[in-house]
Structure 1
Amino acid sequence: MLCLQWSAHAQTVLNVTTYGAVGDGVTDDYPAFVAALDAVAQLSPAQVILQIPDGSYRLALSQSADSSAGHLKISGISNLTVEASNQATLICGSPYHHGIYINASGNITVRNLAVDYDPLPHTQGTVVATTPASRYVDITIDPGFPLPTEDHIDGYGGAHTATNVGYLYDPTTGRKLNQYMDQYLREQVVDLGGGVYRYHTSNTVLDDFVGLKFVVVGRRKADAVKCNSSGDVLLENVTVYSAPATAFNIQSCDLVTVDQCTIEQLPNSTRLFSTNADGVHSKWCTVGPVVSNCYFTGMGDDSVNIGGSFVPVIKVEDAYTIVVESHGSLFNFADDFIYMDKTTHGLISLGPIVSIKTTTISEYSKGCMRIVFENPVPTFVTWLTTQDVRSCSQILNLNACGRGAVVTDNHFYNHRARGVLMRAPDSLIQGNHFHTIAGPAIVISNDSSFLSEGPSGSGAQVLDNTFTNVERSNIWIQSSGDGSSTTATKGVLDVVIDNNTFNDYGGLNAYGRGAVAYVFYIRNASDFQISNNTIGEPAFMQYPVSVFDENFDSYADTAALQNVWINAVPSSPNNASLTLTDTFTATPSGYSTTLNSQTAKANNGVNYRDMGITVTEDFTLTFKMLQSNFSRYNM
């Protein structure tokens, strides 16, 4: 009996060096890794440990490989542990493919590995000139970074299209400067010669950019670690230095745990940036992931995003039958369908289904599914009526949204955008430190009108967290849609916010959810408990933002002064136009005038100051327009 028990639990130990891996950071070890994983597949589902000795392993996967490939791909395998003793770094050679790819597998542990990409999926340099009127930003590239014209960076000039975005950083502190708009680069970069490259941006450009660091991402659909259609996965002490998209992408899985993992810039390098997108991005999971004891910094998007997807209703065929856009979350999991009531924003069950089948609708270009319910369906607004997938009614499967997610004891520091976006219900967000981010630090909401993420985050417990230097609303809770609606009171329900500490809140920030200097921003919500929280001191504004800097020199009359003032800044950021009122008195020795700057959007919390000026000599007046209270819509 003892022999049988030992046999049932025996583990086979393999080592990648047996298959030719060297780990010197130079040799192409990709064929050796493929051979080792082929050997593992032959043994599955037996327990196997695949050892990777500490070192650096260059995995030169072809950039033209099939999209289903991965640098280290675990597919259709059960009961496998892949581990190094301390740290083995995988240097991934294709910015178009996942680093570690776990697909259709179960009981998988990955431990003590690191992932980096070469070529790097972003570039970095210094702003050397700007042309604000034309929205040009000219940069030089730092040594060791890819050129902006390389195919995997340039989203417009090569065979692979991508999204290019530029971010501004302080060259001394390495902090992302959120008082400036992110720069969306909608045109191909221009090589001006002499090592200078010009970007044309869609956003406001200021002379103040000169001398700042500029990071440009070439965002692709490739993640450092991708878990797809797998269960019982443990990612332990995995470090990510760069990624074309997210660090950890968890999709259509059962239980995935991300524990003691790190996202950071490569040590002993000049990098300001880590991954091009989120830290953890989890979608369509039967249960939420566990993200615990991690340190994330430098990412190009949120720390953690967990939820499912709303799917548009295309057609109502009869009292029990609807046709929706096809989506894997509807038929790959047990059904528990809900819809969002557009009046209350409440989530209402549609009850049991009779059948679900694929179908097509001649008027709709994408695949569809026909769902028959046991109970009559409500009055839906369909795509056939609106011709807009965001305006029509939408449904979601609660069994594919990551409910019960756990985010505990993590440190999220100095990265773009938000901390935790919790769309999934019944989550626990506890013991985390949100530090030096734009914010909001925690978002509890759906996003059915923009990204179609949901359902709403109801039932969340936000406990014992620390918030330091979060610029926008530290906690933002609002159902999407019309936030001012007096009837939409059930968008988010039953949330507990207890024993959290907030300090140094409300720094410089140009745009985003919520508002600067507000710890809580809550709308469309009911049944909340907010208790035992400590709200400390707000951030100290150490320097103003210069919206423009213009000289005014002895103008002859009011019209001349008005012309210079108004034309100095034709529009402030986000198209909030400037207006001028003044009084004028002409004398031989000068004049007096009152200048008033005010944005056209009067209800967005804008502060302005009347400047009364009396002059008795010839003069040159130099000043800057200062904005001390940033809001979502304007500087």
Structure 2
Amino acid sequence: MRNKALIVSVTVFSAYLTTAAQTILQITDFNCKAGGRNNCVPAVQAALATCNDNDSTIIMFPKGRYDFWPSSENQGFEVGFDLKEKKNVIIEGNGSEFIFHGNMQIAMLDECEQVTLRNFSVDWERPYISQAEILHVTDGYIDMKIDSEKYPYVIEKGKILFVGEGWKLPVILTYNNLFDQVTKEIVSQSWDAPLGDTFEQEAEYLGNDIVRFYGGKRQVTPSPGNIVTLFHARYMTNGIHIRKSKNTVLQNLVIYHALSHGVLGEMSENITMDNTSMTVNEAKGRVFSIVADASHFLNCKGVIKVENCAHTGMGDDFINVHGRNVIIQKVEDRHTIVTNIKGYCNQIGDEMWLLRQNKAQRGEIYIIETITPVYQDQKLIGYRISFKTDLPEDIKPGDFFENKTWTASLELRGCRILKRHRARGILVTTPQKVVIENNYFRTAGTAILIEGDIDHWFESGANTNVQIRNNVFEDCLTSGNRDGDRWQWGDAVITITPSHKPTSEKTEPYHQNIWIYNNTFKVFDAPLLRARSVRGLRFTNNEVLKTTSYQPYLWQKSAFLFDGCRDVLIWDNHLDVNYITRDVLIEHMKRSDIKTKGFKVISVKGMKTYLN
């Protein structure tokens, strides 16, 4: 074998060790040392500036603590690792702690290729979430203990304000949640803002870090010892933002805090998260981690691969993979439409499916020729999109387009999806293959939610091949849908509820080929599956075990609830004798649309099948 020559490049930085294929940069040679709380952002920028796209570059952090600070002149947010049009770069943390301060983003990967972030943790010195312990509850007030060292606060004019690094903010009421002091799980049958407007009421400091809040309208009565999370920001800036990039790997990362989604992938190809978790910093006594979803992937393509992740403490779901439905606001001519602002997730040359609102079926394919923003009073209100060929004469406002070019498959394996965070587990809507296998689910809301939204978030699109297999679902839905409220967190262990509404036994379903097999369901209540508008739905060879961990309370009283589904098979499942529910309710379906063994099929009319 021919030996490759080792070339030592002598530069002003002794850190450069260059081979024919790889350069190693020591961050310490860019005036960034572990400890000391000095700002590492300039050193990272300097190191990135030296990267050569023709070679593989490793930016090496010797193990230690490194601090990242926003610059005083920056009026927006600062980025710790700002990668623009970089190729073949590895950020190697070697087990280091990256501590952020103020309004910052962990990393931005914009139009990058072959970038890897690995082997480090991220936290904030002062997170944008605080927490309090419930001490005493009466009809007139609540006493809470708030650690003023970890979560500094002041009371001004009778109202509590929390203090951070360069900020003083109230409590945002929308998404605060209650946690059990022992299990650190979301308290059963509690949802968003369980204490209502308590934190807008008069506050009085009683000493010894105890604050009394007077009055207020609560949704639930907390128990002494419950912990409540106090959010001071919502969707500020994402943790790791991957935009228009290819072949990104996040490996062995622990993210204790971020100011919105932990990881956001947008119009990118092939993203891998391996042992990369948004998680509670137990050593600091927290029950929270990041502000929003652990990971969110919008209009991506290739493969989204998520393996060996265990997220806890987030302010929203475990993962969301979807496209974006673009609603037609106006038809200008045979080539041109005007959309709402959701039209930003498209590019010239993209193939687009046309879907009529009344059918919601993927139809003709059109190629984008031009995209221009539309402004009104200097405010962006939408996009003007022109296509290369004539549009049909019958399209109208309210119909919509779905991007065919940017659709990703999902592989999710070996993960733990727990009730230690708000809302649901897996959300996925994509026409590409989905494999969810060998995971453990113990969620506050529904474990897996499959929608397809044309009336609220506009998250597309119809699934065509979903395999849910070899998973364990245990005591999910402790904060599920009790009475039909949209903002409760799901109706069955697996919930399939696209916006498309069947109107008869002939309505063509929205989704196709969703197979649920070889799983174990350990349930305290009745509902296993709720599904609307699916063709080719299988629930086979699953084991169902009854638990007594919680009292039944969910509004769905049947094991299965189907609306407008076709070619449904429920077969060869193994049922615990203590799981006595055997009902399958169907609407907008013929009896021949479903084949079952071990369950009783009941046709109903006018059942409660749409959320408010």
TM-score (norm 2): 0.76
Contact 1:130 1:206 in 2 (8 A): no
**1:407 aligned residue:** 412
Task: Give the match for residue 217 of structure 1.
Answer: 231
Secondary structure in 1 aligned to 2:463? coil
Q: Work out whether 1:88 is the aligned partner of 2:93.
A: no
What is residue 489 of structure 2 aligned with on the other side?
none
Instruction: Give the corresponding residue for 1:108.
Output: 115
**1:284 & 1:410 partners in 2: Cα distance?**
23
1:428 aligns with 2:434: yes
Question: Is 1:490 matched with 2:487?
Answer: no
Aligned residue among 97, 117, 129 for 1:122 = 129
How far apart in 2 are the matches of 1:448 and 1:308?
12
Pair 357,266 (structure 1): closer, same or farther in 2 beyond 3 Å: closer
Report the Cα offset of residue 89 of structure 1: 1.3
Q: Is the 8 A contact 2:27 2:43 kept in 1?
A: yes
Report SS of the residue matched to 1:127: strand
Say which is worse superposed, 244-253 or 143-152, in terms of deviation: 143-152
Contact 1:336 1:349 in 2 (8 A): no
Q: In the TM superposition, what whole-angstrom CA distance separates every residue of 1:515-567 from its partner, at most 9, and x where no partner exists? A: xx31111111112233222222144436999xxxxxxxxxxxxxxxxxxxxxx
| Contact map agreement 2:311 2:416 (CA 8 A) in 1 | yes
Pairing 1:48-447 to 2, within 5 Å after superposition: 48-62=57-71, 65-67=74-76, 69-85=78-94, 87-94=95-102, 96-128=103-135, 139-142=144-147, 144-147=150-153, 149-150=161-162, 164-183=174-193, 188=200, 191-194=203-206, 195-196=210-211, 198=213, 204-218=218-232, 219-327=234-342, 331-332=346-347, 334-346=349-361, 348-353=362-367, 355-358=369-372, 360=374, 366-372=381-387, 374-377=389-392, 379-382=394-397, 392-400=398-406, 402-414=407-419, 415-447=421-453
Structure 2 counterpart of 1:460, one-letter code: V
* 8 Å Cα contact 2:299/2:345 also seen in 1: no
Cα distance, 1:84–1:455 mapped onto 2, change above 3 Å: same
Q: Which runs of 5+ in 2 are unaligned?
A: 8-18, 154-159, 481-491, 555-584, 586-608
For the residues of structure 2 that align with 1:429 and 1:146, how far apart are their CA atoms?
45
Quote the offset at 1:334 in angstroms: 4.0
Alignment CA distance shift 1:430-1:220 (3 Å): closer
Q: 1:378/1:308 Cα in 2 relative to 1: closer, same or farther (>3 Å)? A: farther
SS in 2 for 1:114: strand
1:394-434 deviation digits (Å, cap 9, x = unpaired)? 2221222x421221221212222111100122232332434
CA distance in 1, matches of 2:340, 2:384: 6
Superposition deviation, residue 226 in structure 1: 1.9
Q: Tell me by how many angstroms 1:110 deviates.
A: 1.0
**Cα offset for 1:29?**
3.1
SS of the equivalent of 1:174 reads coil
- Other-structure match for 1:520: 529
Say if 1:199 and 1:11 are closer, same or farther in 2 by CA, change over 3 A.
Answer: farther
| Cα distance in 1 for residues equivalent to 2:212 and 2:32 | 40
What amino acid sits opposite 2:191 in the alignment?
Answer: M
- The one-letter amino acid paired with 1:179 is Q
Equivalents in 1 of 2:235, 2:172: separation in Å?
6
- Per the TM alignment, residue 93 of structure 1 is displaced from its structure 2 partner at its CA by 0.7
Over 3 Å counting, the alpha-carbon distance change for 1:45 and 1:462 in structure 2 is same
Which deviates the most, 27-36 or 298-307?
27-36
Q: 1:484 to 1:302 in 2, by over 3 A?
A: farther
Q: Which amino acid aligns with 1:178?
A: S
User: Residue 177 of structure 2: SS of its match in structure 1?
Assistant: strand
How far apart are 1:32 and its partner, in Å?
A: 2.8
- Corresponding residue to 1:20 among 31, 35, 43: 31
Describe the SS at the equivalent of 1:35.
helix
Residues paired across the two proteins, number: 521
Match of 1:558 in 2: none
Measured in 2, the distance between the counterparts of 1:188 and 1:64 equals 33
The whole-number CA distance in structure 2 between the counterparts of 1:480 and 1:31 is 48
Query: Is residue 78–residue 105 contact of structure 1 (8 Å, CA) maintained in 2?
Result: yes
Matches within 5 A, 1:532-547: 532-541=541-550
* CA–CA separation in structure 1 for the residues paired with 2:42 and 2:101: 13
**One-letter code of the match for 1:425?**
P
Alpha-carbon distance in structure 1 between the residues aligned to 2:332 and 2:515: 41
User: For 1:341 and 1:290, how far apart are their aligned partners in 2?
Assistant: 32
Q: Quote how far apart the aligned CAs of 1:207 are.
A: 3.5
The letter of the residue matching 1:10 is A
**Where does residue 30 of structure 1 map in the other structure?**
41
C-alpha spacing 1:488/1:276, structure 2 compared with 1 (3 Å):
farther
The separation in 2 between residues aligned to 1:200 and 1:227, in whole angstroms, is 44
Please say which of residues 302-311 and 224-233 is displaced more in the overlay: 224-233
Once the 2 structures are TM-superposed, how far is the Cα of residue 210 of structure 1 from its aligned partner? 4.6
Shift of 1:80: 0.7
Structure 1 residues 253 and 544: alpha-carbon distance in aligned structure 2, compared to 1, 3 A threshold: closer
The amino acid of 1:165's aligned partner reads Y
Q: CA deviation at 1:335?
A: 2.0
Q: 1:376 to 1:188 in 2, by over 3 A?
A: same
Kindly state the Cα deviation for residue 253 of structure 1 after the two structures are TM-superposed: 1.0
Inter-partner Cα distance in structure 2 for 1:44 and 1:128: 57
Residue 290 of structure 1 deviates from its aligned partner by: 1.1
Per-residue deviation, 1:307: 0.8
Q: Which runs of 5+ in 1 are unaligned?
A: 383-391, 507-516, 546-602, 604-630
Deviations 1:336-374 (A, max 9, x none): 21244433432x233233733326487996132132352
The one-letter amino acid paired with 1:367 is: G
Deviations 1:307-328 (A, max 9, x none): 1111221112344542223556
Separation of aligned partners in 2, 1:26 and 1:533: 53
CA change 1:163–1:281 in 2 (3 A) is farther
Matches within 5 A, 1:589-628: none
Higher helix share: 1
Identity of paired residues, percent?
A: 22
Cα distance change, pair 204–475 in 1 and its aligned pair in 2 (3 A): same
Alpha-carbon displacement from aligned partner over 1:450-484 (angstroms, at most 9, x marks no partner) = 11111133322222222111114111112115467
Partner of 1:475: 494
- Would you say the 8 A contact 2:40–2:67 is kept in 1? yes
